[in-house]
C-alpha cells in the first residue's frame, strides 16, 4: 500500500507536470484525500521531468483521528525515478522508488479500525491514472523501504498487539489487467507479538496477491535459539472473512529467558525448549486470538513448580523439584480466554505425571492428573499408602488427582486420596547429646 500510494501521487505529478507546482501540490492533496477518505499532507515536493520526484514528510491520517493520534501513514522522504520516454506510450514507467523511514499505525478503537476509508479498493485501481485528457498505466520495477515500522494496537493505541521496526524491503510491483501484486525480500530488526514474544534479526520473503500479504520463509533469532515460520494478513476491506494466520516454530530456545519476557518466574523451568504454534483470528477483533501448539524439552529441571514439592513430600522424595526429568512435552489450544492443555507429560526414570486441563488468563489453573511410579519408588512409601495406587500391566503404580487454584499456591487433593487427610509434618530432628 505504501508503494501504491506514492506511485499514484507520482503519476499525478508526471502526468500534470505542465501545471505550476503550487497548483499541482494542492490538487494532489485534494484528490488523494478524497480517494482515501483521509487527510493527505506533505511538507514539500520537488519535480524534474527528466530526473524524477522527491516528496518530503508525507502524512496520511484518518478523518476521525484526534490530534494526539499518530497518523496512519508517515514517510520522511520519497525518492522516485522514472523513464520519461514511457509517457509517449501513455505509460508511467517508474524504475525505482525509495521510501525513507515509512511508518504504518493500525489502531483498533471500539469495534472498528481508526483508518482512512478509501472510496474504492486503491490497491486495484491506483495502477491507472486519468488526467481528464489521457489515461496512463503505471508500471513499477523496483520499490525499496528503508528503516520502516509497522504497529498494530487497540484501545486508542494504548494496548500494542504487534510491532515491527527496522524493516528494510526490496521488491517489485507487477501489473496485470488492472490487478496489483508485489513480491520481494524483507529484513526486520525486531518483531514483537503482544507485550512479550520477541523475534530479532528476522528475514523473510514477502508477497502481495489476491488481497493478502504473505510472509514466507521467515527466519529469526529468539531467546538464545532460532525461529521460523509464516504469516498471512488480509489486505482488503471488501472480503467477508478477515482472518489472519501466524505459524511459528521455535527451536532450542532458553525457557527462563522466554518466561522472563512474559513477566513470569524464570525459575519455573531450566531447559531448552522446542515450541510450535499456529495462531489465527479475525483482523476486526485482534485481541480474540485462537491457536494451537506443541512443545517438547529434554533434561528439564522444574524448580519452580510447587505441585512437585507436594508430590515429593508424599512420596518421600523431598528433592523432587531438583530432579532432572528426561522429557517434558505437551499439546495445547488457545481459545475462550484460556490456555487448554490437551496433554501434558513430565517423565523421569522413576515417575511420570500426565495431566490435562486449563490455565485461564487470570492464571487460575484446573487440571486432572495421573501420577505413575515404578516399583522401586513405590517401595519407599508406607504400605498402606501404596495400596491406594492402581497396578498397571507393566507393574507400575498409578493414582489420579486434581490440581486447582493458582500456580504459586496450588490446591492438590493427592494427600487426601493417599492418607484420607493431609499427612502429619515430619518431626524435627533430635539434637545430638
What are the tens digits of pLDDT across the range 166-190?
999 887 766 544 556 778 899 999 9
Q: What is the pLDDT of residue 22?
A: 57
- List, for residues 203-246, the tens digit of each pLDDT value: 999 888 777 889 999 999 999 999 999 999 887 656 666 789 99
Q: What is the pLDDT of residue 231?
A: 93
**DSSP of 244-301:** EEEEEEEEEEEHHHHHHHTTS-TTS-BSEEEEEEEEEEETTSTT--EEEEEEEEEEEE
Domain limits, the chain? 1-180, 196-283, 289-427
Q: What is the pLDDT of residue 211?
A: 77
Q: What is the pLDDT of residue 372?
A: 95
Residues of the chain predicted below pLDDT 50:
14-20, 176-177, 423-430, 432-433
Amino acid at each position: 500500500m505504501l508503494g501504491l500510494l506514492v506511485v499514484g501521487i507520482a503519476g499525478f505529478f508526471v502526468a500534470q507536470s505542465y501545471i505550476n507546482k503550487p497548483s499541482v501540490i494542492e490538487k494532489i492533496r485534494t484528490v488523494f484525500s478524497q480517494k482515501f477518505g483521509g487527510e493527505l499532507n506533505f511538507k514539500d515536493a520537488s519535480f524534474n521531468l527528466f530526473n524524477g520526484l522527491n516528496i518530503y514528510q508525507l502524512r496520511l491520517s484518518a478523518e476521525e483521528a484526534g490530534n494526539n493520534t499518530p497518523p496512519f501513514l508517515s514517510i520522511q522522504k520519497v525518492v522516485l525515478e522514472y523513464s520519461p520516454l514511457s509517457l509517449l506510450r501513455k505509460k508511467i514507467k517508474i524504475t525505482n522508488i525509495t521510501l525513507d523511514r515509512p511508518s504504518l499505525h493500525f489502531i483498533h478503537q471500539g469495534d472498528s479500525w481508526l483508518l482512512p476509508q478509501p472510496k474504492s479498493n486503491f490497491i486495484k485501481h491506483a495502477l491507472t491514472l486519468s488526467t481528464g485528457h489521457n489515461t496512463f498505466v503505471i508500471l513499477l520495477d523496483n520499490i525499496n523501504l528503508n528503516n520502516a515500522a509497522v504497529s498494530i494496537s487497540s484501545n486508542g493505541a494504548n494496548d500494542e498487539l504487534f510491532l515491527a521496526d527496522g524493516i528494510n524491503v526490496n521488491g517489485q510491483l507487477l501489473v496485470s489487467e488492472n490487478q496489483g501484486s508485489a513480491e520481494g525480500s524483507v529484513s526486520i530488526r525486531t518483531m514483537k507479538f503482544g507485550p512479550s514474544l520477541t523475534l530479532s534479526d528476522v528475514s523473510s520473503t514477502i508477497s502481495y496477491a489476491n488481497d493478502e500479504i504473505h510472509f514466507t520463509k521467515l527466519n529469526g533469532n529468539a531467546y538464545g535459539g532460532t525461529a521460523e515460520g509464516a504469516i498471512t494478513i488480509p489486505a482488503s476491506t471488501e472480503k467477508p472473512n478477515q482472518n489472519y494466520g501466524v505459524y511459528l516454530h521455535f527451536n532450542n530456545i532458553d525457557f527462563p529467558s522466554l518466561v522472563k519476557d512474559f513477566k513470569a518466574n524464570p525459575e519455573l523451568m531450566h531447559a531448552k525448549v522446542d515450541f510450535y504454534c499456529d495462531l489465527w483470528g479475525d483482523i476486526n477483533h485482534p485481541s480474540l486470538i485462537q491457536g494451537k501448539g506443541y512443545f517438547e524439552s529434554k533434561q528439564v529441571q522444574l524448580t519452580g513448580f510447587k505441585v512437585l514439592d507436594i508430590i515429593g513430600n508424599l512420596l518421600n522424595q523431598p528433592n523432587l523439584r531438583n530432579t532432572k526429568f528426561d522429557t517434558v512435552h505437551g499439546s495445547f489450544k488457545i481459545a475462550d480466554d484460556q490456555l487448554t492443555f490437551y496433554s501434558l507429560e513430565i517423565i523421569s526414570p522413576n515417575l511420570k505425571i500426565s495431566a490435562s486441563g486449563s490455565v485461564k488468563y487470570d492464571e487460575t489453573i484446573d487440571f486432572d492428573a495421573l501420577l505413575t511410579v515404578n516399583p522401586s519408588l513405590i517401595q519407599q512409601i508406607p504400605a498402606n499408602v501404596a495400596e491406594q495406587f492402581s497396578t498397571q500391566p507393566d507393574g507400575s503404580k498409578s493414582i489420579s488427582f486434581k490440581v486447582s487454584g493458582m500456580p504459586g499456591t496450588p490446591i492438590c487433593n493427592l494427600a487426601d486420596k493417599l492418607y484420607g487427610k493431609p499427612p502429619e509434618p515430619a518431626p524435627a530432628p533430635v539434637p545430638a547429646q
